[in-house]
Structure 1
Amino acid sequence: MYSLFAWRYFKAKKSTNAINIISWICIVAIIVGTTALILVLSVFNGFEGLVKSLYASFYPDLKISPSSGKILTISPEQLQQIRGIQGIKNFSLVVEEKAILQNGTNQTIVYLKGVDANYEKTTTVNKHIYSGNFNVGTNNHPLLVMGIGIEGALGIRAGSDVLPLTIYVPRKSNTEELNELENISSDTIHTAGSFMIQQDFDNKYVLTNLQFLKSAMRLDENQFSGVEIAVNNPAEADQIRERLDGIFGSTYKIQNRYQQNQNLYAIMNLERWIFYAVLCIILIVAAFNMVGALTMLVLEKQKDISVLNALGASKNFVLKVFLSEGLLLALIGGGIGMAIALALVILQQQFHLVALEGGSFLINYFPVELRITDFVLVAITVLAVSFLASLVPAIKASRQYFSLRSE
């Protein structure tokens, strides 16, 4: 019943044309606000998915690392227990340490990461090779696979260098005094290739043979920096982590992919909500228009309200009629806005209409991704703002008394 009155009031011709104009301005503002919210959230979804996929190329599903310090000791029995856990696809033993790479007068500090033969089965770094090939060599003939940022800093083309690079690696030491001859290992080494994943990795990491790096650092046979684990089903990662906790205890730190990148995910989520809050201002502007439109409509429908009162309509009935009118404007504007946003997102996914400028990205267009939760969130926001905006004129309409008797 309330919706019927609201619909008739909306489409009925008004005595003052300004009421129609303000009502449509209100609807247009809601359309713009709804479309903008859906589009921005979809772009954030697209970039979030892209970044997560890039980080997933380098970070494993699970990682075991020392709770303090850089080195952990893993016994053969513990490795055997890892192999016995159902759901683990593969795991790789790794060692990480800062090192210096030098090519003539060019030198740079890198994060040197020694990996074993299972590393290609644990991560997908080998699928992001930019030049050369993925080959870390052997203990006696090690090779380097580096990020393209390091390749540029050294002024080389990885995989095609004639002269070897010089590498300096700190050795394990029990003393705080630095002795260059005793505590620094230097060697010459060739490159096999370079990878391009994401700037955080491309400018930082260099991969090499695990046994070579352990020998250079003078680590014992059972000493490593961590164990990187790939699972068959990422949804079961937390369950597998609990089983690993039972094997290693509190002296080890076991993290899933989210925990390894917690700061990144927190920042992305914060940015998402900040933009959402800023764009809600458009809906607040629409709310001001709605207050004006409904207030003028109340004045327009004074006689109608008097007739309803004479027929026994309660104040609550009048209140609900004008609340329904406000929600009707929200439904029309919000529905059209969502339809426009849906069409634009689908067009961007299919035809890449909006390009990314600069040419330094992995993709040359804005990534977008539709999520049903975004539509639900925006719908709730539009209805909530419209309800609050309609409440004031609706209450005023229900509290006023109009008489049909002419003076």
Structure 2
Amino acid sequence: MKKFNFENFLAIKYISSKKEEKLISLSSLLSIISIAIGVGALILVLGIMNGFDKMLESKIIGANPHIIVKNFNGTFNLDNNLIKSIKTDKLVSNVYPSLVEQCIISANGQSSGSILNGVDFNDKPYIEKYIKGNTKGIVLGKELMKAIGVRVGQNVRVTLAYSNPTAIGFSPVSFEIPVTGVFDSGMYEYDLAFSYIPLNILWQKMQTYDLINTIAINLYNPYDINKVGKYLEHILPASYYFVTWAQMNKNFFTALKLEKIAMAIILLLIIIVAAFDIMNSLTMLVMEKVKDIAILVSLGATASNIKRIFIKQGLILGIIGTAFGDFLGLTLGYLLKHYNIVSLPKQVYYITKIPVDITFTYVVIISIVSIGLCTLASLYPASKASKMNVIEVLRQ
């Protein structure tokens, strides 16, 4: 015959009180609701922030080379042997030289600053998938075209922050060129700042043939940057250095991480408040069940038995509240991810649905922390119940 466990029986029984003890029962219910809301909100908010992080990361990785190689001297001669050496790494998918210059692009009486990238489109650079139209002329960012009011087919004037020596001094390089394509990465800042032009045309206008200032590297897996970085350290000459996409956006990703931690701490306070509600509820219950405890002790229950009854009650409340919270957070996350419940302005975010990415690890950690806090909250009332003077109670 299975042994009857009176500790579990009483822990469950005390959660639902009699009519005369409605206040205690209501307090337990409110504690469960508070835990559920706190856990659900924490799972959902972290899922949304994680979704935004991954979305922005994917856009940043997609619209930028994974690694760029520079020279401390600025511009340098195109070295095909160096490019071939970089390409020998099996993790590298593409390597191509480029000449990056700051410029002002003007049309229709409007001007805007831009970062002009001279690239060889025959090498099929990473940005090719974001370009609509052809690359025979200049390709402007979608937002940059709006800023200066031009369309594909119209001419723009490009004035570089570079001067050519002439008989009477230095003259800034300026030329007209038709817009033949649109760069649309989905990132407002990039679409406003970047423009692209065939490298041979830029060399011709600047009269700097075979001079570049950047070697762009793309990887099959953008997260292999550290492995490729170690390889580059061995093959690059002393005057060269490299920067990865993670280093270029370090401050941005650090800010997002700190924001996620701050939100987690704020929402964790809801669970902590709920844990205090459980402590208050159990303390009131101990005061209410003084005679019951005294009778249990007189029947042979030990202090440890009494203590475990109330610890188990706190644990049960924590498990119930956390389970409801997990269900709430996962359900809302699923609905937001798959249905357009909350619409976002596409012109601001370039997406219409809230990105949600709830990871199993987050759910497990949040659940363990929540149940742990509820169990810790039950230690004080449990200890108080176990140290009760039974003789005094029985005399009354």
- TM-score (norm: length of structure 2): 0.89
Structure 2 residue aligned with 1:110, among 108, 114, 122?
114
1:140 corresponds in structure 2 to: none
Aligned to 1:285: 273
How many residues in Structure 1 have an aligned counterpart in Structure 2?
A: 389
Q: Which residue of 2 aligns with 1:230?
A: 218
Q: Which residue of 1 aligns with 2:351?
A: 363
Name the SS of the counterpart of 1:363 in structure 2.
coil
Tell me the SS of whatever aligns to 1:355. Answer: coil
Displacement, 1:73?
5.0
Residue 167 in structure 1 maps to residue 161 in structure 2: no
* Cα distance in 2, alignment partners of residues 301 and 339 from structure 1: 33
**Contact 1:318 1:397 (C-alpha < 8 Å) held by counterparts:** yes
* Aligned-pair CA distance for 1:165: 1.4
Q: Post-superposition shift, 1:187?
A: 1.0
Specify every segment of 5 or more residues in structure 2 that has no aligned partner in the other structure, as ranges. none
**2:108·2:149 contact (CA, 8 Å) conserved in 1?**
no
- Write out per-residue CA displacement over residues 73-131 of structure 1, whole angstroms, 9 at most, x where no aligned residue: 553321221122222211121221110111142111111111112563x42x33334xx
SS at match of 1:57: helix
Counterpart selection for 2:259 from 236, 260, 271: 271
More off after superposition, 226-235 vs 45-54: 226-235
Q: Which amino acid aligns with 1:148?
A: K
Question: SS of the residue aligned with 1:26?
Answer: helix
Alignment partner, residue 154 of structure 1 = 148
CA contact (8 A) 1:92 1:118 kept: no
Q: Assess, with a 3 A threshold, how the Cα gap between structure 1 residues 380 and 73 changes in structure 2: closer, same or farther.
A: farther
Please say which of residues 323-332 and 223-232 is displaced more in the overlay. Answer: 223-232
From the superposition, tell whether residues 46 and 358 of structure 1 become closer, same or farther in structure 2 (CA, over 3 Å): same
* Equivalent in 54, 63, 72 of residue 58 of structure 1: 63
- Whichever residue aligns with residue 32 of structure 2, its letter is I
Given that residues 91 and 118 in structure 1 are in contact (C-alpha distance below 8 angstroms), is that contact kept between their aligned partners in structure 2? no
Deviation at 1:6, TM superposition (A): 2.3
318, 328, 335: which one pairs with 2:306?
318
Deviations 1:358-380 (A, max 9, x none): 75432212111121122023113
The alpha carbon displacement at 1:134 in A equals 4.1
Structure 1 stretch 45-54 or stretch 15-24: which is displaced more? 45-54
- For residues 300-311 of structure 1, the aligned pairs below 5 Å read 300-310=288-298
Q: Deviations over 1:6-58 (max 9, x none)?
A: 22322454741100001001111111111111111111122112111211221
Secondary structure of the structure 2 residue equivalent to 1:166: strand
Deviation of 1:3 after TM superposition, in Å, equals 4.5
Q: Is the 8 A contact 1:14 1:300 kept in 2?
A: no
Residues in 1 aligned to 2:73 and 2:263: alpha-carbon distance in whole angstroms: 39
Q: Check 1:331–1:179 CA distance in 2 against 1; reply closer, same or farther (3 A cut).
A: farther
* Partner Cα separation in structure 2 for residue 180 and residue 366 of structure 1: 59
Deviations 1:177-225 (A, max 9, x none): x99962511111111122222011011111111233244445462x422
- Aligned equivalent of 1:204: 193
Confirm or deny that 1:48 pairs with 2:53.
Answer: yes
**Using the alignment, how far apart are the partners of 1:318 and 1:180 within structure 2?**
98
Aligned to 1:24: 29
Q: Deviations over 1:253-311 (max 9, x none)?
A: 33333222111211111111111122222223212321221111111222333244345
Cα distance change of structure 1 residues 325 and 103 upon mapping to structure 2, 3 Å threshold: same
* Cα-to-partner distance string for 1:312-369 (whole Å, 9 max, x where unaligned): 5444443333222112111101101111221222222222222114754322121111
Which amino acid in 2 is paired with 1:338? Answer: D
| Cα drift, residue 240 of structure 1 | 2.0
Point out where structure 1 has 5 or more consecutive residues left out of the alignment: 138-142
Whether the 8 Å contact between 1:169 and 1:216 is mirrored in structure 2 is no
Contact preservation (8 Å) 2:271, 2:370: yes
Q: Tell whether 2:385 aligns with 1:391.
A: no
Q: 1:203 is paired with a residue of what secondary structure?
A: helix
Match in the other structure for 2:394: 405
Give the 5 Å matches for 1:6-155. Answer: 6-11=11-16, 13=18, 15-66=20-71, 68=72, 70-72=74-76, 75-117=79-121, 120=124, 122-123=125-126, 125-129=127-131, 132-135=132-135, 137=136, 143-155=137-149
TM-score of the superposed pair, with normalisation by structure 1: 0.86
d(CA) in 2 for partners of 1:240, 1:360: 35
Separation in 1 of the partners of 2:68 and 2:345?
36
For residues 119 and 334 of structure 1, the distance between their equivalents in structure 2, rounded to whole angstroms, comes to 54
